[in-house]
Structure 1
Amino acid sequence: MGAGGRLITRSRAAVSALFFLNGLMIGAWAPKIPVFSSALQLSEAGLGLMLFVFGIGSLLLMPIAGMQIARFGSSRVVQVAAFCFLPTIVGLTLVHSVWAGAIAIFLFGGIGGAMDVAMNANAVEVERSMRRSIMSSCHACWSLGCLIGSATGGILIAFMGPLGHALTVASAGLALFFIIRPMIFSDAPHPSQQRERARFPLSPLPWLIGIVALFSMIPEGSILDWGALYLRDELNAPTALSGFAFAAFSLAMSAMRFAGDLVRDRLGAVRTLRICAVISFVGLIIAGQAPNVTVALIGFGIAGIGISNMVPIAFSAGGNIPGLAPGIGLSVVTTLGYSGILFAPSLIGFIAEYTSLATIYTGASLLSLVVLALSGLARHADRVGDTEQRANA
């Protein structure tokens, strides 16, 4: 891809900040989960059902957001979605009944998912305008937001209470949103995309690549939604430290995603994916078999290093399948991938009811071995000529 124009522009800074804001809210949710569960007196199975509602909200509103993007453009949709999403963290704090909790978490997951689709679409438009790749760094900003949200969440809850934490995060997020709003890249609608997204291929290749994305994102979702409870309930971590499970994971993921494009161009997508799958396997084993909080955090950090570039490679491969329109292949891969981070954590709740979260994380490591077995499919993520260029380097 050409490197025309400046490396940093106002529109790139704005879309990166949108990714950061979305990640900040998701990260802030991680240490709030035990508080949410206690306030509604939920069992692990009950919490799993609530997380299922979160996933339902996301997958219902994501395609609606896609249709609105085709009609109005990503800029308008992402602004509305972000403005509505940021206060939902407060709604999760104010609920005192199961039904109110279900509505609050549906809105949190749904509007957050709509913002996710819109900000990714806006990032694509910024890439086109700049003629350079920025998607990896945008996802790194999302991970950075998750890191800050999860790392500060437990501390803020301990010193300010759940409501004080929610109001602080929402207020800071809205303030940043209004600062960047004038800089968000304004794009034209693309009504032709709507028809293309409705088609699904019969070829097994995009579905197999989708499994790579799915098995890469299931561990990420399990750490986000269950990491705090694992540290608190099974490793006896205090509330102030409970959010650091996803924080350690996000820190490692953020660093590696900022370097992800360079690593992949140097080693190739297949070799990078294989190395990442092995690292993820080792990290999840360490986290699941950890005797104390420190070892668990190290394991989650190692897992973050491995998983960081697995999903971007899968998405890139899905959009570059020979003989298949990029939008069609990518729609399959992203749908399967996001279902892993949205729905798998709810199933984990039911499984954990009869086993333990330590067993869950140990078992999740096996998914990385499946990714390793399918890693040859990552060759579709390499641009034409990359292999020859590395061979001549």
Structure 2
Amino acid sequence: MSTALPRAARVATWTFFTLNGFAIGLWVVHIPDVERATGISHSTLGLLLLVLGGAAFVGMQVVGPLVDRLGQRRLLPAAGVLLGLAMFGPGLADSWWALGLALVVLGFANGMLDVAMNSHAVVVERAYPRPIMASFHAMWSIGGAAAAAVGAVALGAGVPTAVSLSCAGVLCAVVSLITARFLIDGAQSPAAARAESGPRSTPTRLVWLLGGLAFALMLAEGVANDWAALHFKDVLGTSDSTAAFAYGAFAVAMTAGRFATDRVAALLGPVAIVRYGAALAAVGLLLVSFTAWVPLALVGWALFGLGLAGGVPQLFTAAGNLDTRASGALMARVVGLGYVGLLAGPALIGGLAHWMPLNTAFLVPVVLCVLAAVFGSVIAPREPAVADRSAG
């Protein structure tokens, strides 16, 4: 395989991750406007967001085997176009049932794109002599940050939600089609060619272990997404503007950490990234839980984000390399379990907060991070995966 093709595919993969982060970020920014336009209550919105999450999980499980059968080069742009079309729905919805249908399509498309682009990222990474997976996830964060900025400007200028989301949808569809020519399939990988002559096996137990680790780490990430600012406001008694810095510290540290993770993983290996990263995240959240000093709590949230930055990309890489002939299906299980954790984390902490202080409830994700540190060695590459990487 020439060096030009993997580089073009790498840039294309960056593009899809950025597009996905931008599209979902723009939807999140416009949720309050969509809620007002449809006249639904907060509780109804909460249920519909669960529907979106469930549809995303289904989309992940559907696209996994299809990726293995049809290839990343066909499925990834198709998922990008479907997400683009799905972006039209929420802005045009005028009732709870219309919004519900729109979110089913949006969630399904987002789940498909999530697995397809991560599967393609694993294929591209196999062609490189070093880890590159975390940089793709960093681009997702960049896309989300760009959506927040664009959304703020659009809302401030009074641009209708339907126009903003529809423009984002057109952008997703057009860029997905343009970028499709630079994609590659897993079958083009030397690793896949060698695997065809070997015995076929599905390491079920290891898949579930990887999925459990993804569940734990993404649950912790979900806690920060929804509860960091509320922790500052309700527990530390800060203003709304100061509370925003809590999530900001987490998000900035996580994004920076993802850009740095690949180089660290090349030096220390994926096990160290998961093990020591999860341990650092546990230390950071413990600091958040027990300090009453705002600057120290900011440091805690930053350490939490830095610690969580690299673990999930390593888990996805490990899942995609377990069996190159069933990479999509195996990755769909791990990504799906991680996504369940991302959805469950905020709800779990919210339920516990009815019975105990919020900072005490944070001890649950602390324990999960400790467990991830203990069991991080399960992602150690098997012999075929080591050979695959050295071949790049």
2:267 counterpart residue number: 266
Give the alignment of 1:1-80 within 5 angstroms: 5-6=3-4, 9-33=7-31, 40-43=40-43, 48-80=46-78
How many Å separate the matches in 2 of 1:289 and 1:165?
A: 41
CA RMSD, aligned part only?
4.3
SS in 1 for 2:42: coil
Distance 1:42 1:176, change over 3 A: closer
Give the alignment of 1:210-225 within 5 angstroms: 210-225=211-226
How many Å separate the matches in 1 of 2:162 and 2:229?
A: 17
SS in 2 for 1:86: helix
How many Å separate the matches in 2 of 1:312 and 1:286?
A: 25
Residue deviations 1:41-82 (CA, integer Å, cap 9, x gap): 224xx5553332122101111222234434543333322322
1:183 counterpart residue number: 179
Distance 1:75 1:295, change over 3 A: farther
Give the alignment of 1:302-381 within 5 angstroms: 302-319=303-320, 330=331, 332-352=333-353, 358-380=359-381
**Does the 8 Å contact 2:122/2:320 carry over to 1?**
no
**Does the 8 Å contact 1:317/1:381 carry over to 2?**
no
Distance 1:247 1:351, change over 3 A: same
**Does the 8 Å contact 1:30/1:243 carry over to 2?**
no
Do structure 1's residue 256 and structure 2's residue 226 form an aligned pair? Answer: no
How many Å separate the matches in 2 of 1:318 and 1:91?
A: 33
**Does the 8 Å contact 2:67/2:328 carry over to 1?**
no
2:390 counterpart residue number: none
Deviation at 1:369, TM superposition (A): 1.3
**Does the 8 Å contact 1:210/1:332 carry over to 2?**
yes
How many Å separate the matches in 2 of 1:370 and 1:358?
A: 19
How many Å separate the matches in 2 of 1:294 and 1:110?
A: 40
How many Å separate the matches in 2 of 1:321 and 1:119?
A: 17
**Does the 8 Å contact 2:17/2:140 carry over to 1?**
yes
SS in 1 for 2:60: helix
**Does the 8 Å contact 1:16/1:141 carry over to 2?**
yes
**Does the 8 Å contact 1:23/1:145 carry over to 2?**
yes
Deviation at 1:257, TM superposition (A): 1.7
Question: Which 5+ residue runs of structure 1 have no aligned equivalent?
Answer: 194-198, 386-393
Mean Cα displacement is larger for which, 177-186 or 108-117? 177-186
Query: TM-score, normalized by length of structure 2?
Result: 0.74
Mean Cα displacement is larger for which, 259-268 or 74-83? 74-83
Mean Cα displacement is larger for which, 108-117 or 90-99? 90-99
Deviation at 1:218, TM superposition (A): 0.7
Letter in 2 for 1:182: I
Distance 1:320 1:79, change over 3 A: closer
How many Å separate the matches in 2 of 1:61 and 1:5?
A: 33
Question: 2:145 aligned to 119, 144, 147, which one?
Answer: 147
Residue deviations 1:121-169 (CA, integer Å, cap 9, x gap): 333444456776543322221122123334554x3476245x6466446
**Does the 8 Å contact 1:144/1:251 carry over to 2?**
no
SS in 1 for 2:3: coil
Letter in 2 for 1:145: G
1:85 counterpart residue number: 83
Question: 1:159 aligned to 149, 152, 156, which one?
Answer: 156
How many Å separate the matches in 2 of 1:329 and 1:68?
A: 12
How many Å separate the matches in 1 of 2:70 and 2:332?
A: 20
How many Å separate the matches in 1 of 2:12 and 2:111?
A: 19
Deviation at 1:20, TM superposition (A): 0.4
How many Å separate the matches in 1 of 2:32 and 2:348?
A: 17
**Does the 8 Å contact 2:278/2:370 carry over to 1?**
yes
Identical residues among aligned pairs (%): 33
Deviation at 1:378, TM superposition (A): 3.8
Mean Cα displacement is larger for which, 288-297 or 143-152? 288-297
Query: TM-score, normalized by length of structure 1?
Result: 0.74
Question: Which 5+ residue runs of structure 2 have no aligned equivalent?
Answer: 196-200, 388-392
